[in-house]
Amino acid sequence: MKFGKGKIYVGYDLGTTCSQISYCLTGSTSVETLSAVAGEESFNIPTVLCKRHHVNQWLYGKEAIKAAGKDEGILVENLLEMALDGEPVLIEGNTYEPAALLTLFMRKSLNLLSMIAPLEKIEALTITCERMDKQMQEIISLAVGGLNIRVSKVYFQSYMESYYYFMLHQPEELIQHQSMLFDYDNDRIKIYQMKRNDRATPVVILIHDSEYPFRKPEDSKFLKIAREACGSARISSVYLIGERYSQEWMTESLRFLCEGRRVFQGSNLYSKGACYGMLAHFEGTDPDKKYVYLGHEKLKANVGMNVCRQGEDSYYVLLDAGINWYEADSVTEFYLQEDNTLELLITSLTGTGSKVARITLEGFKGAAARLKMHLFMKSETRLVVEVENLGFGELIVQAANKWREEMELY
């Protein structure tokens, strides 16, 4: 890809063992992946550092592994896990903050982009990891903040969501029915199964995950896993992600997967999916308007209430389905005039319909009063509602002024 005067979107797959970097130019839909070795399709960058003995010199990726193998330095692995743990890391008698080590790895690996464009040309950066929650987002935000590069937008995606965005930019027939992804990493196979609800508008995409221990490549065992995972479902496409797949050991299982299905093998799906996610945010490409993704980290229901505004009854949105549940937060002020009951309308996007959740404000007299209501998610399915009585001028004062309730949304 030739760089012009524009800017670039960067998708960064921050894996526990290996990372990858994909990119696309603004205004383009063509996504490419950086090779760690010039002239080769060597996408994986081992997520490791190596500190050379007795000097403040750090290597990363394959060079780090090579140097450590020659006993030229100390290999530092599990960078992401250590950053999440937060405990200082002791290396040659010195302590290092784990988030700073993660920042160092990311900075060194992102320098590969300088072969394509100056780092100041990065318009937006999406980090994708196997799981994405509030803690992961905070740790990665801390690491990104230390990169010393100016990025106007930083996004965070799970592998599930990156898989979704990748599939949206593949030929329609590959997502016509279900799609499955078999991710073979370390000693396990992680399976993502993408399903669609065509009865909803836009079409709702759901992804379910499962995991199987798989320490040694074995055809019969993988065939058993594949048969169990596929079941009787109609599957349009299958993706095999990982470097340990080989036709030499998976003859029968590969033959099974290819029965009426398109099968693809590769390794850079997640980083490409991170780039496609930014195309949805910035470019508004057509496939992104037809579908909505509701994975584990997404809120799967709209939450609102019926209100009276300017004398007319209307529906007021409090929380929108499709946002990350750990980012769902709403504060609303309103007047309650008739009784001591609030009604929230919860509308599921997964096909289970709507329901009304009634919240009784014990001790509230039902007189006209101004209330503040705070809604947020405690977990993927559990909603917390906090209500505070702000009073109504100085004329009405009530003893009961705060309430809290938790409920399961679905």
- Domain-located, residue 78: yes
Tokens encoding 278: 């930014």
**Residue 278 in 3-state DSSP?**
helix
Q: What's the CATH code of the domain at 319?
A: 2.60.34.10
**What pLDDT is recorded for position 161?**
95
Query: For the range 57-66, what are the long-range contacts, defined as Cβ-Cβ under 8 Å and sequence gap of 24 or more?
Result: 58/104, 58/108, 60/104, 60/105, 60/108, 60/109, 61/36, 61/108, 61/109, 62/36
- Do residues 20 and 113 share a domain? yes
Q: Which domain holds residue 188?
A: 162-274+283-293
- Do residues 129 and 217 share a domain? no
- Do residues 195 and 221 share a domain? yes
- Do residues 175 and 119 share a domain? no
Q: Could you read off the pLDDT of 165-182 as tens digits, one per residue?
A: 999 999 999 999 999 999
Domain count, the chain: 3
Per-residue confidence at 200, pLDDT binned at 50, 70, 90? Answer: confident
pTM above 0.75, yes or no: yes
Separation CA 312–CA 307 (nearest Å): 8
Q: What's the CATH code of the domain at 168?
A: 3.30.420.40
Q: Is residue 240 within 8 Å of 263, Cβ to Cβ?
A: yes
* DSSP bridge partners of 385: 375, 405
Q: Which of 125, 157, 189 is the last residue of a domain?
A: 157
Its sign, for the CA torsion 342, 324, 192, 178, is positive
* DSSP bridge partners of 306: 315
- Do residues 266 and 204 share a domain? yes
- Do residues 61 and 143 share a domain? yes
- Domain-located, residue 1: no
**Residue 10 in 3-state DSSP?**
strand
**Residue 340 in 3-state DSSP?**
coil
* DSSP bridge partners of 182: 191, 240
- Closest by CA position to 192, among listed 309, 93, 270: 270
**What pLDDT is recorded for position 247?**
85
Name 88's Cβ contacts closer than 8 Å, sequence gap at least 6: 95, 96, 97, 98
Q: Could you read off the pLDDT of 141-158 as tens digits, one per residue?
A: 999 999 888 777 899 999
Separation CA 385–CA 383 (nearest Å): 7
Mean pLDDT of 279-305: 85
Q: Which of 139, 157, 175 is the last residue of a domain?
A: 157
**What pLDDT is recorded for position 26?**
86
Summary mean pLDDT of the chain: 91
Q: Which of 157, 177, 197 is the last residue of a domain?
A: 157
- Do residues 19 and 140 share a domain? yes
Q: Could you read off the pLDDT of 16-58 as tens digits, one per residue?
A: 999 999 999 988 889 999 988 777 778 999 999 999 999 999 9
- Do residues 91 and 166 share a domain? no
- Do residues 16 and 140 share a domain? yes
- Do residues 83 and 125 share a domain? yes
